[in-house]
Structure 1
Amino acid sequence: MKPLNRPEKEAIEHEQQQILQQLEDWLELPMLILSFAWLGLFVVELTWGLTPLLDAISIVIWGAFILEFVLRLSLAPHKARYLKTNWMTVISVLLPALRVLRFARVMRILQTTRAVRGLRLVRVMARTNHSMRSLAANFGRRGFGYVVMTTAIITMVGAAGMYAFEQDAPDLSGFDSYSTALWWTAMLMTTMGSDYFPKTPEGRILCFFLALYAFAVFGYMTATLATFFIGQDADDDEAEIVGVKSLDALRDEITALRSEIQSLRQGD
């Protein structure tokens, strides 16, 4: 078979990229819905455990994600680059296999160590990242609404992770319910905090990432709210801040005054 020359390769890669983009556009909304459902099932798994029916639904959704990823990978012109860019997606898709094969001997060995909690921490981060990527794909511009939804999702999933980890606290002083963990995580997100400090290593690591996110997003949300209220005052002529309408009126008066001065000079 005759090897393809450079222009032919570029044409094929361009066509593959167009097909991949069309596939991603078509799958954006369905994958977003499935991502939220999968994340919700993960929260239930961490807090109360899954029933056989919910477990089966989770596996079906996981299979849909595997199929989607295989399709995208097969259409990607540069597969190595695609895998490098989406490495967190690869982890989030592969990790559930450990839970499906939990009856295997390797998992029985892991269950006697702290590796299970470490894998659970990775699953929390990877699955949250998977949902965040789906959410970001549906927001052309990542504005205030995107940040609010992201913060709400991270708060709920983070609370489930903290509840699961801190149940194994050495002095049994962890969270007694998911609602308590949710309140604690919400206080952490508002940078107010509380008088409880995580006891388990996994809880401390997750708490660190939650606090890091809260610190990063708090300034953005504060600036956005301040801009909103300043904009409201700017449209109000009676506000302490000089309003936009007042500035426009002042500009019109200055323009009229200049025209009048020029007319007087021409008359002289």
Structure 2
Amino acid sequence: MDDERRLHEWERRGSVPLSIASLVFLVTYAVRVLAPDLPPDWSDLLFTITVVTWGIFVVDYLVRVAVAPHRWSYVRRRWLDLVVVILPLLRPLRLLQLYGKIQNRHKQPRLSLEARVMAYAGLSALLLGFAASLQVYADEHDAPGGQIRTYGESVWWLCSTITTTGYGDLVPVTARGRVIAVGVMFLGVVLIGAVVGSFSAWLTQSFRRADERQGAGGPPEG
């Protein structure tokens, strides 16, 4: 019980710092990709900050595993945390924890379940999409035979891929770019399904409540 309490306390206290570290990582990485001609001193500083933020995630994960009452069970249950440590592109997902803490400051969430699902899905798409567009641009803009030469083209490719439109006018040619493209495709299918399903559930619930009020003799919703 003491170990569980310590683990819970560590996770509670580390939620905001890790979210800030995620934001710092995303900003420094974006600057390094979009402004490659920075003076060497600034470039080294940004690289150091990126490495330090990664180190923060590593230390946090190791501490949580060490404090957990059943370590291997904790690793299996929280496998996504390990993936976030290994794959930098997923690190911005930590910002969702900060959003969740803001939403849950009161005893009751400020948004309905359907609205929270849509909000989380939208934020996930925005954060992961931004990170993916940066990485694809970094890999593709100077690759032999590459088609994505500017960051604007990378954003266009991302939008057409994550929405499952798939125009095919711009495609990645590097191995890592194609791996990211596969991830973006799956992300798009999952997020669009979550948003459409939640929106449909919200509409159904709203119509059901309106029908119940009318059946009870109450005024219909305006």
Please say whether Structure 1 and Structure 2 have the same fold, judged by a TM-score greater than 0.5: yes
The answer to whether the 8 Å contact 1:28/1:138 transfers is: no
Offset of 1:20 from its aligned partner?
Answer: 0.8
Q: Which has the higher contact order (CA 8 A, sep 6+)?
A: 2
Taking the TM superposition and a 5 Å limit, the aligned residue runs for 1:9-158 are: 14-49=1-36, 51-86=43-78, 89-90=81-82, 93=85, 126-133=87-94, 135-136=96-97, 139=100, 143-158=117-132
Counterpart residue identity of residue 185, structure 1: L
After superposition, the C-alpha distances for 1:157-181 in whole angstroms (9 at most, x for unaligned) are 1111221222244324x22221221
Offset of 1:89 from its aligned partner?
Answer: 4.3
Aligned to 1:248: 216
In structure 2, what is the Cα distance between the partners aligned to 1:232 and 1:78?
Answer: 44
Aligned to 2:109: none
Counterpart residue identity of residue 71, structure 2: K
Counterpart residue identity of residue 155, structure 1: G
**SS, match of residue 249 in structure 1:** coil
Aligned to 1:101: none
Aligned to 2:133: 159
After superposition, the C-alpha distances for 1:178-219 in whole angstroms (9 at most, x for unaligned) are 122112202222222222222222222211110111012212
The TM-score with structure 1 as length reference comes to: 0.62
Offset of 1:244 from its aligned partner?
Answer: 4.0
After TM superposition, the structure 1 stretch with the greater mean CA deviation from structure 2, 177-186 or 67-76, is 67-76
In structure 2, what is the Cα distance between the partners aligned to 1:230 and 1:80?
Answer: 42
In structure 2, what is the Cα distance between the partners aligned to 1:70 and 1:229?
Answer: 44
In structure 1, what is the Cα distance between the partners aligned to 2:77 and 2:198?
Answer: 30
After TM superposition, the structure 1 stretch with the greater mean CA deviation from structure 2, 78-87 or 186-195, is 78-87
The answer to whether the 8 Å contact 1:76/1:82 transfers is: yes
In structure 1, what is the Cα distance between the partners aligned to 2:82 and 2:25?
Answer: 16
The TM-score with structure 2 as length reference comes to: 0.73
After TM superposition, the structure 1 stretch with the greater mean CA deviation from structure 2, 150-159 or 49-58, is 49-58
Offset of 1:228 from its aligned partner?
Answer: 4.1
In structure 2, what is the Cα distance between the partners aligned to 1:70 and 1:51?
Answer: 29
Q: Are residues 31 and 207 of structure 1, via their aligned partners in 2, closer, same or farther at CA, if it must alter by over 3 Å?
A: same
Q: Which runs of 5+ in 1 are unaligned?
A: 1-13, 96-125, 236-241, 251-268
Q: Determine which structure has more spread, i.e. the larger CA radius of gyration.
A: 1
Offset of 1:231 from its aligned partner?
Answer: 5.5
The number of residue pairs the alignment matches comes to 199
Of all paired residues, the percent bearing the same amino acid is 22
The answer to whether the 8 Å contact 1:168/1:200 transfers is: no
**SS, match of residue 185 in structure 1:** helix
In structure 1, what is the Cα distance between the partners aligned to 2:13 and 2:190?
Answer: 32
In structure 1, what is the Cα distance between the partners aligned to 2:56 and 2:69?
Answer: 22
